Amino acid sequence: MVRAPAIRGALRFWWRALYAAKYPDARALFRAEAELWGTAGVSGGASHPSLPPARSPVEVSVEVIGAPPAIAFSPDRFSDSREHEPPELYVLWALRGGQKVSAARYRPHGTRFRLRLALGADPCRRAEVIAAVKAWLLFGGYGARVRRGVGSLRETSHPTEWLPSGLDRADLTAFFGRDVLAPKPAAAGPTARLAGAGLAFGRTTSAAHDAWRTAAGWLRDFRTSLPPRTRIRLGFTASRGEPSRLASPLIVKAAALTGDRYTPVALWLNRDDAPVFPSGSGLDVRKKFFDFLRRKPGVTVAAE
């Protein structure tokens, strides 16, 4: 249901997103990650050094407090007479099934769990793990289709410690203790980074589903405005002819804030291999996306 190894993997991802820019190359990043998060042992290569097996000083444990039963996905749950294809159905297309594939099973909103971390004695590394947890809670989630807002999280015991009060640059700087979106030179290869990422958010609401629906609608409207080839190579859609399809750099979700509030958010992670489409045209799809969002009522672009 909720497994510690999966959470550890998510925290590793957000640790890289936060700290990749501080390392001179991918090998240095790989070594630092292995020291903090552990490694099964690897042979050396162009992008990583040879390392023996190492145990992580970060211990992760999970206790599930309660969860609704898993149910089969049904499009009827998200039907809306106002729209032919509501945003929720647009981003959950993979769960629908088909003639030969049954609809996926999922758990509705309401799973609760207690996360425990033993962080070791090094105060600098402790601070890095805490920042990774904050980024995971704010921008990530648990389970499948996290980049489309599924499995988003909210901390309920001490929300003022683990959630920001807003998503302006000043709010995020106070939350993380530094401006995590500030561009920095990096030589860590195609690692997705918060440094230099783009961020936009909408109006706050007390309903998480409404915030998610708004963010999913941004994706639907923008993606359908792009040429099919661009959607495929950006990871916005699948194609049998593109076996090397990239994970999408774009995350859309409902971000939890203090005071039981939520806001629709779009985070475009910075990545060195982000392509330009079509080849030679100079089309900057990321810039096009944030220009598109600026025309939406109530949207603030904090970084692009």
Confidence of residue 276 (pLDDT cuts 50, 70, 90): very low
Cα Rg, the chain, nearest whole Å = 20
pLDDT for 229: 66
Q: How confident is the model over 108-119, as pLDDT tens digits?
A: 788 999 999 998
For residues 285 and 227, the model is more confident at 285
Q: Is residue 48 pLDDT above 80, yes or no?
A: no
Phi, psi of 58 (to 5 degrees): -95, 115
Q: Is the pTM of this model over 0.85?
A: yes
Phi, psi of 173 (to 5 degrees): -65, -40
The average confidence (pLDDT) of the chain is 83
Across the range 197-218, mean pLDDT stands at 96
pLDDT for 279: 46
Q: Name residue, tokens 């939890």.
A: 256
**Gap between the Cα atoms of 293 and 264, Å rounded:** 12
Helical pair 123-139 and 4-19, crossing angle rounded to 10 deg? 100
Confidence of residue 246 (pLDDT cuts 50, 70, 90): low
Q: Is residue 97 pLDDT above 90, yes or no?
A: no
**Gap between the Cα atoms of 96 and 104, Å rounded:** 7
pLDDT for 264: 98
Contact of 133 with 117, CB cutoff 8 Å: yes
Q: Is residue 197 pLDDT above 70, yes or no?
A: yes
Across the range 171-176, mean pLDDT stands at 97
How do beta strands 105-106 and 112-118 pair? unpaired
pLDDT for 249: 87
Confidence of residue 74 (pLDDT cuts 50, 70, 90): confident
